[in-house]
Each structure stands twice: as C-alpha cells, then as structure tokens.
Chain A
Amino acid sequence: MTAASVPVSRRYVDGRFGQIHLRVAGPVRENEPTPPSATGLLPLLCFHMSPNCGRIYETIAGAMGADRLCVAPDTPGFGESDPPPSAPAIEDYAAAMIDVMDALEIERADVMGYHTGSETCVALALAAPERVRKLVLTSAPIFTDEELVWFRDHYGKPELSADGSHVAEKWRGFLTWAGPGWTKEHVAVQFADALRRPDISWWGHAAAFAFPMGEKIKHVTQPILVLNPNDDLVEHTRRADGLMQNGRIEDLPDWGHGYLDIHTEAAAALVRAFLDGDQP
C-alpha cells in the first residue's frame, strides 16, 4: 500500500459528443501521452454517479495516482463535458469512455464506477472486453419493476421554483444520504455539480434506470469487486450476489456517501488489494 498522494490536474480530450473533461493523476507527467505507467500497473478509470462529476474522485485519484495513472472523466453532459445531442443510453456513455481511452492511448485499463458509473463499467466491459481487466463497483443496483417506477418519478427532470425551494430540497436530500463523517462543508464541495444543466441533468438517471443491470452483469467475465457502503442502494446491491460469474460483494456498513473522501486510504487499500492481487 502506498500512503502518498500526488497532485490531480484537469484537462480535456475530444470524444464523439464533444469535449470530455478529465481529472488525471499519475506518476507520469501531466499532458503527456499516457501509456501504462512506469510502475507497470494498468491505468484506472473512474466513472462517477449521477448527477455530480469526476470531482467525487478527486481525493482518491490523488491516492491511486501514486503508483498508476488514474483518470476520472466527467460523463458527457455532466461537469464540464459536452452533452450528447439527445438523452443517451449507458452504452453511449461507455462508448465515450472508449474515446477517452483512445485519446490517452490507453489500451487496457481497470475501471471503477459509482452508481450510474458502475453501470457504465459493466457496459464498457461487455462492449470492449479486451480493454477492461477488472471492475470495482461502488454499488451494483438491481431494481425491481416497482422500484423503477418510484426511482424514475423521483429522479426525473427537476422543476425549477422561483423561491429556490427546489435547490434547498436537493441540499436536504444530499445531507440525508451523507455518510458518517461527511460534513456540510464536504457536501457543499460536491453539491454545485448536481445543480448543473437542470434541463438535461436527469439524463444520467434515466439512462441508469433503463439499463438492465441484473441481465448485463451476468455476462461480465472479468473479475468484479462490488463495494457496498450503507447508502441509498445498499439493499438493491445485495441482489447482485450470485449473478456475477467472477465477483464478490464487500459490505461496508460503516461507510456511506463521501467515503472516498473520508476513508481515502482505506478505500485505496481495498481497491489496490483487488486490482494488484493474484487474480488475473
């Protein structure tokens, strides 16, 4: 385990939907073409939850970047990445992530996802199996039809109010699901990204709820580690048990949203043990 942390820089690459904004950390110099780093470890790509952006990985990218290239893109339409022309499917997000790999000259990588980003990992592993070695998924939600009705209703296009009550309500939702130790100040750092592009920010959730995770994850042959913190998807994630060909679920009952910032070193150690362990 490496306790060091390296600086995270930001840059753009071009993808099929326009510019894609990246956070990049690694033992290689910024803005260089980025082959597997000098340590010989595969690059790690990190896909964020909806709405939000790659900022959720800023801290852990610095930690993982100590011994490998770590890249956290903003999904098209989120953060500073240009949006697709219309509401996309998870497969479209995965295709854009292949554009990121191509732009950075990354042949093969490990991938890490968080909620919607977990589904993008699975879609990418299925679309380009030779380019994805292992998957780390924070939550791997399998929804029932009844739950999907509620989720689609709850995470639709936000109504904007004149009195700002829609913003206040979103803030209270973030605080409700903030994990232990995640302060208001922490939440505020991530919160602004959830307010971007209210006209299309629901596309991420819409794509996520249209993706049949239970069906898809069955076909993934690569090793999968599911991290299951005690957040809003903890129960839905347990259903992935038994569906994976080559995966396991690690329950993290003491962690919730924000664990990547609060338990950075412990999370990095878990991820490293899985990625750099003996399993091929």
Chain B
Amino acid sequence: MRVRKAYVQGRFGQMHVRMVRPQAAADKRPLVCFHMSPYSSIIYERWLEEMGRDRLAVAVDTPGFGESDPTDTPPAITDYAHAMIDVLDGLGLESADLMGYHTGSKIALETVLLIPDRIHRIVMVSAPLWTEQELAEVKALYGPEPLSDDGSHLAGWWQSAVRWSMDGRTLEDIGRVFWARTLNPAISWWGHAAAFAYDSAGAIPKVQQPILILNPEDDVWQRTPRAKDLLVHADSRIHDLPGWSHGFLDLKTVETAAIVRPFLDPGVDAD
C-alpha cells in the first residue's frame, strides 16, 4: 500500500503528513504518529504501510522538521502538541490513538493531556526519565551544532546513526532516512531542547488512558523503566525489546505490529 503525502494548515504554517488509508472501510481508530528529533515522518514509512492495512495511519512532520514549517522561535513540547491538534482537526479526526518516538512520545503525552476526550490509547517508543545530572549531560550533548568545513559534523551524525542502529540495519536502511536528520541544521536542535525541558515524570501520572511503552535497547533504554511506577491505567505497561534498537520499525515491522495491535484493539483477535 502506497504512502500518500499531503499538507494541512496549522498555527505555525503548513504541516506535512504521510498517510496510508486502508482499502476497505476501517472500523478501527486512526493511528497518528510523531517522530523523534531531528528526523521526520520518514521513519514511519514502512510502519504506516503495515498499520494502514486496517486503519488510517498517519505520521506528521513536527514543525521545523521534514517539510513542516518551523515555529518562529524555539518551541515547547506543548507548542508541538497544539500543532498536532491542528493536524487532527485538519484531517477531520474526532478521535485517534497516538504513537510517539522519543521526542514524539513527549508530544503524544502532552497532546493527550490537552485533548483527553479525543485520544484513546498511546504507544510510546521510550519514555526516558532523567536525573538532574543526566539531564545536564544530555542538554550539553544536543545543543546547536556548528557546521564544519570538512564535513566532519555530517560524518559524526552518520556514525551516531550507525552506532545506535540495531543489528541487521544496513547502511542502505540508514541512508533512506538520514537526509531528514541533516535538514535545517540551524534549528534542528530545537526538538531536543523542547524534549529535555518537558516534565515527563509530571505528565505520565496525569494520563488516564492506557499507555504502552516500547523499550528497545537504544541510547535511552536504561532511563525508561523508571516510568513504570508512574503509569495509572491497569492496561498500561512497559514492553522491553532487548536486542532491538533504532531501525526496528523497519526491520521488525510485523513483529512490532503484533505487539501494538492487541494493545490498540483490545478484544479483537489478532489476524
């Protein structure tokens, strides 16, 4: 099934979305996905093809990433969340499930707190909770990125993508999405800055909806289990994915769907 792309008007300008609509009429709720920083909705391309078999599956470029217009100044996660609500409105989605990846999982949390009546279930890829010292360290790591003359800044970004990729992810797999990491370098650190300023530990206990946290063995996997005691709903849980890391949505697409579908569609037999 082919991904279709479109623009929706949001408060910060045009919002770019990737979508797969199922061929038959779908009775399942739409799934709307938010990406990690920097990158874009391109990371969900194969995931949308899978989930779009039985529901409308959407992935949105966060403002300032991919093809979505940027905010004028560095935003907070709540600004991103408001922009995502603009997308839900623009697509006419009265209710939806949300999925987020790293920064995107924080946007999902904030969105559900803003419009709790419209969001039913949330899938988060990682929910890192930081100690103050760790936070200071990651903030120092992810600030504005100077551009080199010799391209070493780009080589460094590529090496980082390779280092944190799961086994089996090829250079071609990385090459398919890497460009999105290099877009708009003057402002692409805004996503991380917003994420590190967001109080996930304060937000998670306020969410009354079921949350499924997928915890692959990536750069933040040791920080995510701290969220366990903050989960409110009886269906909420953390699902560890040892041996999986960045790229799992492409390499383990069907396996991930087999975990996510029963969570999103309780009471429906897996096909």
Contacts and interface: CB of A to CB of B under 8 A. Distances in A.
Contacts of B171: 160-162
A191 interface: yes
Nearest to B152: A168
Given A12-B7, A18-B2, A188-B186, A170 B151 contact: yes
Q: Which of B14, B183, B184 is packed against the most chain A CB atoms within 10 Å? A: B183
Contact of A192 (B6, B175, B176, B182): B182
Nearest to B159: A164
A164 B7 contact: no
Interface string B137-166: 000000000010111101111110010000
B176 to A, nearest CB: 7
A167 B147 CA distance: 13
Interface in A188-231: 188-189, 191-199
B155 A167 contact: yes
Contacts of A169: 151
A165 B159 CA distance: 9
Given A193-B179, A195-B178, A185 B186 contact: yes
A172 B153 CA distance: 12
Interface in B175-223: 175-176, 178-180, 182-186
A8 to B, nearest CB: 10
B175 A160 contact: yes
Given A10-B67, A171-B151, A193-B179, A198 B172 contact: yes
Contacts of A161: 171
Interface string A168-192: 1111100100000000110011011
Number of contact residues on A: which range applies? 20 to 34
B151 A80 contact: no
A37 interface: no
A31 B49 CA distance: 28
Given A167-B151, A198-B175, A192 B5 contact: no
Contacts of B157: 164, 167
Contacts of A170: 151
Contacts of A2: none
Nearest to A158: B175
A18 B4 CA distance: 9
Given A10-B7, A197-B176, A199-B175, A192 B155 contact: no
Nearest to A171: B151
A21 interface: yes
B162 A195 contact: no
A164 B179 CA distance: 12
A37 B174 CA distance: 43
Contacts of A19: 4-5
A146 interface: no
A9 interface: yes
Contacts of B5: 12, 19, 21, 80
A192 B180 contact: yes
Contacts, number: 87
Given A10-B14, A199-B172, A168 B178 contact: no
Nearest to B186: A185
A163 interface: yes
A188 B145 CA distance: 12
A239 interface: no
Q: Which of A21, A163, A188 is packed against the most chain B CB atoms within 10 Å? A: A188
A155 to B, nearest CB: 17
Contact of B155 (A18, A163, A198): A163
A189 B155 CA distance: 17
B150 A168 contact: yes
A171 to B, nearest CB: 4
Contacts of B159: 162-164
A191 B182 contact: yes
A198 B7 CA distance: 25
Contacts of A162: 159, 162, 171
A11 interface: yes
A182 to B, nearest CB: 13
29 contacts: A10-B14, A10-B16, A12-B6, A160-B172, A163-B155, A163-B159, A164-B154, A164-B158, A164-B162, A165-B155, A167-B158, A167-B178, A168-B155, A169-B151, A171-B150, A171-B151, A172-B151, A184-B149, A185-B147, A185-B186, A188-B147, A188-B185, A188-B186, A189-B184, A192-B183, A192-B184, A195-B179, A195-B182, A199-B172
Interface of A: 9-12, 18-19, 21, 80, 160-165, 167-172, 175, 184-185, 188-189, 191-199
Interface of B: 2, 4-7, 14, 16, 67, 147, 149-152, 154-159, 162, 171-172, 174-176, 178-180, 182-186
Given A160-B174, A167-B155, A189-B184, 11 more contacts: A9-B7, A160-B172, A163-B159, A164-B158, A167-B157, A171-B150, A184-B147, A185-B147, A188-B182, A193-B179, A199-B175
